[in-house]
């Protein structure tokens, strides 16, 4: 792909992406949703965050434990991070705990 073509791709991608992001925000009155649907949107964050999280978590990128491919060091580290998240509701603490747990597990197994 030539560089002009490459940049054409970037611009087209950018247009598509910002159109999706702006869709309802800019076209509010024309894309009006019925009330029930609007109330349902309240659950978008929970549903989407979980849907993004689980495939990334269970893809077997860590070292497998108990002989299971999907139950690996990352899953355990995430469980530990989850407890920290639940207790502290602190994003930084959660990330730090998760990374520390992952490294600790890697060190213990290595």
Partner 1 sequence: MLAGVSNERVAFVQGLKDSVPVLIGIVPYAMIVGVAAVAVGLLAVDVVGMSLVVFAGASQLAALELIGRGAPIVVIVLTTFMINLRFAMYSAALAPQVKDVSLLVRTVVSFALTDQAFALTTIRMRDQPDTPRSPYLLGVSLPFYFVWAAFTAIGAVLGAQVPASWQLDFALPLTFLALLFPAVRDRPSLAAALAGGALAVVLRDLPFNLGLVIAALVGVGVGAWVEVLRDRARA
The residues that touch partner 1, with contacts defined as CB under 8 A, are: 1, 3, 5-14, 16-18, 20-26, 28, 31, 33, 36, 38-59, 61-62, 74, 77-78, 81-82, 85-86, 89-92, 94-95, 98-99, 102-103, 106
Q: What end-to-end distance do the CA atoms of the chain give, in Å?
A: 43
* Comparison of 68 and 90: residue with beta carbon closer to partner 1: 90
Based on CB atoms, which residue is closest to partner 1, 11 or 68? 11
As measured in angstroms, the least distance from the Cβ of 68 to partner 1 is 14
Give the span between the Cα atoms of 90 and 16, in whole angstroms: 34
| Ramachandran class of 50: left when φ > 0, alpha when ψ lies in -120 to 50, beta otherwise | alpha
- Number of CB atoms found within 10 A of residue 13's CB: 10
């Amino acid at each position: 792909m030539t560089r002009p073509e490459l940049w054409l791709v970037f611009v087209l991608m950018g247009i598509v992406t910002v159109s999706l992001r702006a869709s309802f925000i800019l076209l509010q009155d024309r894309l009006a949703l019925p009330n029930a649907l609007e109330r349902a949107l309240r659950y978008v964050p929970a549903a989407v965050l979980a849907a993004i999280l689980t495939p990334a978590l269970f893809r077997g990128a860590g070292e497998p434990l108990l002989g299971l491919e999907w139950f690996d060091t990352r899953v355990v580290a995430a469980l530990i991070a989850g407890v920290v998240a639940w207790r502290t509701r602190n994003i930084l603490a959660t990330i730090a705990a998760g990374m520390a747990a992952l490294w600790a597990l890697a060190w213990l197994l290595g």
